[in-house]
A and B are shown apart, each in its own frame.
Chain A
Amino acid sequence: MKITIDESRCTGHARCVVVAPSLFTDDERGYGVVIGDGDVPADQVAAARSAVNSCPEQAISLSE
């Protein structure tokens, strides 16, 4: 599974960084950034779903 942020929708709430710190980090502006290429390890799937839910802009997607 792969996780991505739609940058055109992201406005820097940074909720993803809080709920899934292994998958996202924050940049200098406080915006969430996907760590690495966004591959979600099996033990991080729940955290990834949480990141999708928690984004107020619905900017995060999880794909197969």
Chain B
Amino acid sequence: MARDRTEGWAYFAAQGDVFEGNGTWYLTSAEAVQFAHRHPEIFTSGPAFAALASPVPLVPLAIDPPDHLRFRKVLDPMLAPRVINRMEDQLRDQVRELIAEFSGNGHCDIVADLARLYPTQVFLTLFGMPLEDRDTFIGWVETLVEQSTSETSAAPPAAVMEAAMGLFGYLQTFIEQKRANPGDDMLSAVLALDGDEAFTEPEVLGLCFLFTLAGLDTVTATIGFVMQMLANHADVRRRIVDDPTQIPAVIEEILRMELSAPVTPRVTSQEVEIGGKVIPAGATVNLVLGTANRDPRRFENPDVLDPELADRGHLTFGGGIHRCLGSHLARRELRLVVEEFLRVIPDYEIEPGFEPKIVWPSGTHHLSSLPIRFPKVAP
């Protein structure tokens, strides 16, 4: 899995469409995963995230119906494509500036110099926070994400506590500031909700916290995977350099194959029969999106990156009521990165001898480094 997800997912899928291992259940087929997505009353989300022991409610991911709808009704419009359209020029300028930092060098590390920085800048922009705080912010979030997703104990508790205190304190300060002086940003919009739609203080904090846990690391990881795939598939890369209108389609194919959050947990509220197996009530069930996206019953030649088949609907952003709230923003970030990067650096290769690897086992997938080289670009 660390080097090659095709092999890793094949191994997973071979265990069956529905199977149990060490007390946890796994749904690996597209049909089984979709059944779970369509039945949030059976496959509940709230208890599944209890292990994170978040001090604030993780709105809206860890919220079940009926409250869930109340949150999504107001949050969906704040992250709708038409809202993202208004931010596009600003977000494009930002990615351009990041690329200009290294384009003259002839080499860079995609993860450290681009993928790690950009999603946090976008989040700070969206929430109306100063970009100067980017690096401090990244430090806190990386410590927390590592702790919450790693199966081996990572950062020592003291560092985690410090990061949590730092991040919560920072968010709290901004919430107070935005309450006093609202701006034209999403955080101000959330704070301005009133009546039945109003968020409580812990809910606002929980929303901010979830955004940082779910919206930064995932896009960082996917930028890494996209740039790796485009390095390894020079034919596909040339095709989209020649015709940038095909960039979104190619991104969809890469999203289908390389998932930053390939497994989502649920807990059953009742006994349920699925794929010929009976899962008891109260069981932890992992929806394996990584295998569902390569289910040969739904996808032709699923292990091949095929720009001609890029309209095949994948489950990378989940499905059902918890469909990734930030999917439109994530897709926009990815498109802007690829458009701007290939415009400046159409040809590049992974540093010879370097073998990109993901950390494994882990609940989330990402490359920790992706050094590349390319012809120097004159400023």
User: Considering the chains assembled together, what is the distance between the CA atoms of A12 and B77 in angstroms?
Assistant: 10
Closest Cβ of chain B to A36, distance in Å, is: 20
Q: Is the CB of A57 within 8 A of B319?
A: yes
A54 to B316, CA, bound (A): 12
B residues in contact with A56, CB < 8 Å: 313-315, 317, 319, 323
Do residues B319 and A26 form an inter-chain contact, with CB atoms below 8 A? no
Interchain CB contact under 8 A, A11 and B323: yes
How distant is the Cα of A58 from the Cα of B314 in the complex, in angstroms? 10
CB distance from A18 to the nearest CB of B (A): 7
Decide if A22 is an interface residue (CB 8 Å cutoff): no
| Among listed B78-86, B99-107, B154-162, B168-176, interface-contacting one | B78-86
Which residues on A sit within 8 Å (CB–CB) of B315?
Answer: 56
Docked-complex contact B311 and A19, CB < 8 angstroms: yes
Size band of the interface chain A makes with B: 20 to 34
| B81 with A53: CB separation less than 8 A | no
Q: Which of the residues B81, B320, B327 comes within 8 Å of A26, measured between beta carbons?
A: B81
Query: Which of A18, A26, A28, A56 has its CB near the most chain B CB atoms (within 10 A)?
Result: A56
A3-26 vs B, CB cutoff 8 Å, 1 = contact: the mask equals: 000000101111101110000001
Whether B312 pairs with A12 at a CB distance below 8 angstroms is no
| Residue of B248, B313, B320, B323 most packed against chain A (CB within 10 A) | B313
Is residue A30 contacting chain B, with contact meaning CB distance below 8 A?
Answer: yes
- B18-60 vs A, CB cutoff 8 Å, 1 = contact: the mask equals 0000000000000000100110000000000000000000000
Interface size class of B (residues with CB under 8 A): 20 to 34
Chain B residues positioned under 8 Å from A55 (CB to CB): 313
Q: A30-B76, A30-B81, A54-B311 are in contact. List 4 more A-B contacts (CB 8 A).
A: A9-B38, A14-B328, A28-B82, A57-B319
Flag if B320 contacts A53 (CB, 8 Å).
no
Q: Does B321 contact A (CB under 8 A)?
A: yes
Interchain CB contact under 8 A, B77 and A13: no
List 16 A-B residue pairs with CB atoms under 8 Å apart, sorted by A's residue number: A11-B321, A13-B327, A18-B248, A19-B311, A26-B82, A28-B77, A28-B82, A29-B73, A29-B80, A30-B76, A51-B311, A53-B313, A54-B252, A55-B313, A56-B314, A57-B313
Give the CA-CA distance A48 to B225 in the complex, in Å: 30
Task: Quote the shortest CB–CB distance from B322 to chain A (angstroms).
Answer: 8
Q: Which of B283-324 contact A (CB under 8 A)?
A: 311-315, 317, 319-321, 323
